[in-house]
């Protein structure tokens, strides 16, 4: 298992140690969501996830699929923690920077690279897609 938390530490969780997929997403939503250059999605089975402490709040936005993305965050410090698609009960996307032992990004997939910030360099040999594959 891997553990993670928000910035203030009130929301803590554990999840599968190894992701099913690991994405770096350069889309506009992820830039806003992270208030930084890109989002890191550490995709795990939902049944590997367990809340250890705290009570996250949810904000929902429309997904490209037509459904809703439910976005969990800490009500005290505001850190975004994970996203789940209301229509997909099998997996969820933990925001990679919230993990105590963050994953290596050297083998992650880069998506929405056509929206990446100028100066962000995609490592040579990384799988990269201009939009969503
Ligand atoms: Zn917090
Ligand atoms: Zn994105």
Distances (CA, A) of 119 to 77, 113, 115: 29, 12, 12
Instruction: Please identify every stretch of the chain with a pLDDT value under 70, giving residue numbers as ranges.
Output: none
CATH no. for residue 99?
2.170.150.70
Query: Is 120 part of a structural domain of the chain?
Result: no
Q: Ligand 1 centroid vs 129 CA: distance in angstroms? A: 33
Q: Ligand 1 centroid vs 10 CA: distance in angstroms? A: 5
Query: Is 91 part of a structural domain of the chain?
Result: yes
What is the pLDDT, as a whole number, of residue 87?
86
What is the pLDDT, as a whole number, of residue 2?
97
Q: Which ligand is nearest to the CA of 8?
A: 1
Count of domains for the chain: 1
Nearest to 52 by CA among 102, 1, 101, 93: 1
Q: Which ligand is nearest to the CA of 40?
A: 2
Copy the structure tokens of residue 61: 């936005």
Q: Ligand 2 centroid vs 2 CA: distance in angstroms? A: 23
Domain that holds residue 18: 2-115
Model confidence over 94-111: pLDDT tens digits? 999 999 999 999 889 999
What is the pLDDT, as a whole number, of residue 133?
85
Judge whether 99 and 4 are in contact, CB under 8 Å.
yes
Half-sphere exposure of 66 (CA within 13 A, CB side): 0
The pTM of this model reads 0.93
* Cβ-based neighbours of 88, under 8 Å, separated by 6 or more: none
């Amino acid at each position: 298992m891997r553990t993670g938390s928000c910035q203030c530490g009130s929301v803590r969780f554990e999840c599968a140690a190894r992701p099913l997929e690991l994405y770096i997403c350069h889309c506009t939503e992820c830039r806003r969501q992270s208030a930084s250059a890109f989002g890191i999605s550490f995709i795990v089975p939902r049944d590997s996830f367990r809340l250890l402490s705290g009570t996250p709040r949810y904000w929902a936005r429309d997904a490209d699929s037509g459904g809703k993305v439910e976005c969990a965050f800490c009500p005290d410090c505001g850190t975004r923690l994970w996203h789940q698609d209301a229509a997909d009960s099998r997996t969820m996307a933990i925001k990679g920077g919230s993990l105590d032992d963050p994953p290596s990004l050297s083998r992650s997939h880069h998506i929405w690279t056509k929206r990446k910030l100028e100066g962000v360099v995609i490592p040579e040999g990384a799988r990269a897609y201009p939009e969503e594959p």
